Amino acid sequence: MEKKAFQAESQRLLDLMINSIYTHKEIFLRELISNASDATDKLAYLALTDDQIAVDRDELKITITPDQIARTLTISDRGVGMTKAEMEDNLGTIAKSGSLQFKQDMAAKDAGDAAAKSDVDIIGQFGVGFYSAFMVSDHVTVISRAYGSGEAWKWESDGVEGYTMEPCEKDTVGTDIILHIKPDGEEEKYGEYLEQYRISELVQKYSDYIHYPIVMLMHKSRQKPRPEDAGDDYKPEWEDYDQWETLNSMVPLWQRPKSEVTDEEYNQFYKEKYADWEDPLSTVHVSAEGTVEYKAMLYIPSHAPYNFYTRDYEKGLQLYSAGVLIMDKCADLLPDHFRFVKGVVDSQDLSLNISREMLQHTRQLKVIANNLEKKIKNELLRLQKDQRDKYEQFWKAFGLQIKYGLLGDYGAHKDMLKDLLLFWSSKEGKYTTLAEYRGRMPEDQPYIYFAAGESVDKIAHLPQTERILDKGYEILYLTEDPDEFVMSTLGAWDEKPFKSVNDADALPETEEEKSAAEQKATENKDVLDFVKETLGDQIKEARISRILKSGAVCMTSDGPVTLEMEKYFRRMDP
Ligand code: ADP
Ligand code: MG
């Protein structure tokens, strides 16, 4: 028998987890079941891609066995199992990078009060799921035999001192996790986790969509049938019996008809799977037939994850084929501009006898990705039209991503994304789409005007806006870095060019205005020369402006690079 200590970092995290952080101890079962399901997926995948491996799919189930007398709860699977080395690596160390993220999330949790529930979600993302077993057990035994290995190993730990390992016997490939449930305390009644009704409740709550049967031998009692010769004084008799029951409904949500899934169920699935404490803004459930058949369930989150605008964020959808997980984050299914979308794609039509890398380039995958891109856009447009509040919430969270998406790939996606844009409208006092602006435009208005600045309030006070507003024209107030680049990438909307209010020719002049201006310039030549001489190279030219009304001076630009763009470049390259 070998005895080893946990790594110091694991030790600390473990203490933290067991003793203070989690209020929802019940999630340990979900974690262990999902590990069992993952292990079963891995085996099923091997079997699908390798003819040498024969797996009887009917055997692929997860068994839960409570024992009230021994006070143990056993979770068994017929998955890939673990070799001795894998047990040491996976159960003896908590990923170092994981602990960092763990702390960041804790900080975020302390900051907001949506937090009370967020503990439920943190677990399972950082390779710490297994350790949740110690929230309800004082001792855990893991017995595992890896696929393709003749030997089995037993791993044991009380979660504090470290763990021991020794060889043992096991008939089948797979893993048994045996929890020695803690004694009941004053407040915590751990015994509930040995009650069959509590267990089936937890499975339904957290693990209903696991696509392998989760079975338990249920101890039940029933009334004996009334004997035919029973007299009037017959008293019904009861008998005990045992019966295997499948606790989960198994059919994944996305395989069920849309009409049979409630919003509650969609939201619940989202929150559990993607570790969010808020409902998604919207769900798109696709059941596609045609060249490629597939089911998809897509979610538009209501807020950006804390790392969304960083390199750490990884886009992608889960890809299943015939109920087997092929890839956890299939990036090719989502264009960058919709990288905030979460969800699942399930298709029988993917050719599976090829490696995962090759799979990314199959034609079927491309077809699915293109369809999904359109579905997402349509859903966003639907929100924009019918649920403007929600759309604005979406825009606050992900508008910047849409703009960067529009600028990316040399503007290749502008037609896909231009309808989604929102800008602040001087006229409406709220966000508007470009189509809405265009619809309100008087016939004689030559341009779609925009003004850029730090905030709506600051822009509203720019002297350059006054003349244009006086004419009754609407101005789009741009407050984000990429906005002006978006304008220049689009160039025009429905044949009306975009125009910065700073442009010298923002308001075309009539003949009279022109000659009046020329005369004014001649009259004031001395002043203009004086300004130019004083400022020298800092300006190109001083001239009498027509774009001002009550303000005395303003800066303008003539070239394609506006003042705000200049500021932006300077910020980027100090
Ligand atoms: P995660 O599931 O996030 O990777 P866990 O702490 O839940 O982290 O599990 C750690 C690792 O232990 C898993 O990634 C897996 O390699 C291994 N493992 C856990 N349970 C099982 C099991 N039932 N069968 C096979 N491997 C398992
Ligand atoms: Mg896990």
Ligand 1: which atom is nearest the Cα of residue 131? Answer: 6
Neighbours of 387 (CB within 10 A): 14
Q: What is the ipTM of this complex?
A: 0.99
Question: When comparing pLDDT for 345 and 126, which is higher?
Answer: 345
Q: Of all residues in the chain, what percent carry a pLDDT higher than 70?
A: 82
How far from 16 is each of 6, 142, 472, CA to CA, in Å?
14, 22, 63
117-131, 325-339, 363-377: lowest mean pLDDT where? 117-131
| Residue 36 CB–ligand 1 contact under 6 Å | yes
Would you give the distance in Å from CA 295 to the centre of its chain?
A: 19
Ligand 1 geometric centre to CA of 57 (Å): 21
Question: When comparing pLDDT for 352 and 564, which is higher?
Answer: 564
Is 82 a residue whose pLDDT tops 60? Answer: yes
- Pocket-testing residue among 38, 89, 140, ligand 1, by greatest number of atoms within 8 A of Cβ: 38
Question: Which of 147-156, 305-314, 549-558 reaches the highest mean pLDDT?
Answer: 147-156
Would you give the distance in Å from CA 204 to the centre of its chain?
A: 23
Q: What is the pLDDT of residue 564?
A: 66
Neighbours of 392 (CB within 10 A): 16
| 496 φ/ψ angles, rounded to the nearest 5 degrees | -100, 120
58-73, pLDDT tens digit by residue? 789 999 999 999 999 9
Q: What is the pLDDT of residue 496?
A: 94
62-66, 293-297, 354-358: lowest mean pLDDT where? 354-358
At a CB cut-off of 8 Å and minimum separation 6, what does 466 contact?
548, 549, 550, 551
Q: In the numeric block, which tokens belong to residue 4?
A: 């080893």
Instruction: Give the number of whichever ligand sits closest to the CA of residue 98.
Output: 1
| Residue 128 CB–ligand 1 contact under 6 Å | yes
pLDDT, average across residues 466-475: 91
Ligand 2 geometric centre to CA of 142 (Å): 15
Confidence of residue 550 (pLDDT cuts 50, 70, 90): low
Is 547 a residue whose pLDDT tops 70? Answer: no
Question: When comparing pLDDT for 79 and 275, which is higher?
Answer: 79
Q: Of all residues in the chain, what percent carry a pLDDT higher than 90?
A: 51
- Nearest Cα residue to atom 8 of ligand 1: 127
- Nearest Cα residue to atom 19 of ligand 1: 35
Q: What is the pLDDT of residue 43?
A: 87
Question: Which of 93-107, 113-127, 518-532 reaches the highest mean pLDDT?
Answer: 518-532
Task: Tell me which residues have their CB within 5 A of the ion that is ligand 2.
Answer: 35, 129
- Nearest Cα residue to atom 18 of ligand 1: 35
| Residue 29 CB–ligand 1 contact under 6 Å | no
Q: pTM (2 decimals)?
A: 0.61
127-136, 186-195, 352-361: lowest mean pLDDT where? 352-361
Confidence of residue 510 (pLDDT cuts 50, 70, 90): confident
| Residue 147 CB–ligand 1 contact under 6 Å | no
Confidence of residue 101 (pLDDT cuts 50, 70, 90): very low
- Pocket-testing residue among 37, 84, 130, ligand 1, by greatest number of atoms within 8 A of Cβ: 130
Confidence of residue 517 (pLDDT cuts 50, 70, 90): confident
Angle at 182 between CA 178 and CA 185, to 5 degrees: 165
112-121, 312-321, 426-435: lowest mean pLDDT where? 112-121
| Residue 181 CB–ligand 1 contact under 6 Å | no
Is 239 a residue whose pLDDT tops 50? Answer: yes
Q: What is the pLDDT of residue 122?
A: 36
b or e along 301-321 (b: 16 or more beta carbons within 10 Å of the residue's beta carbon)?
bbbebeebeeeeeebbbbbbb
Q: What is the pLDDT of residue 343?
A: 97
Ligand 2 geometric centre to CA of 89 (Å): 14
| Residue 35 CB–ligand 1 contact under 6 Å | yes
pLDDT, average across residues 285-306: 94
pLDDT, average across residues 231-248: 92
Residue that is written with structure tokens 């303008």 in the block: 556
b or e along 6-40 (b: 16 or more beta carbons within 10 Å of the residue's beta carbon)?
beeebbebbeebbeebbeebbbbbbbbbbbbbebb
Give the 3-state secondary structure of 275-338.
CCCCCCCEEEEEEECCCCCEEEEEEECCCCCCCCCCCCCCCCEEEEECCEEEEEEEHHHCCHHH
| Residue 32 CB–ligand 1 contact under 6 Å | no
pLDDT, average across residues 540-553: 66
Is residue 122 within 8 Å of 108, Cβ to Cβ? no
| Residue 33 CB–ligand 1 contact under 6 Å | no
| Residue 41 CB–ligand 1 contact under 6 Å | no
Instruction: Give the number of whichever ligand sits closest to the CA of residue 94.
Output: 1
Confidence of residue 9 (pLDDT cuts 50, 70, 90): low
Question: When comparing pLDDT for 276 and 115, which is higher?
Answer: 276
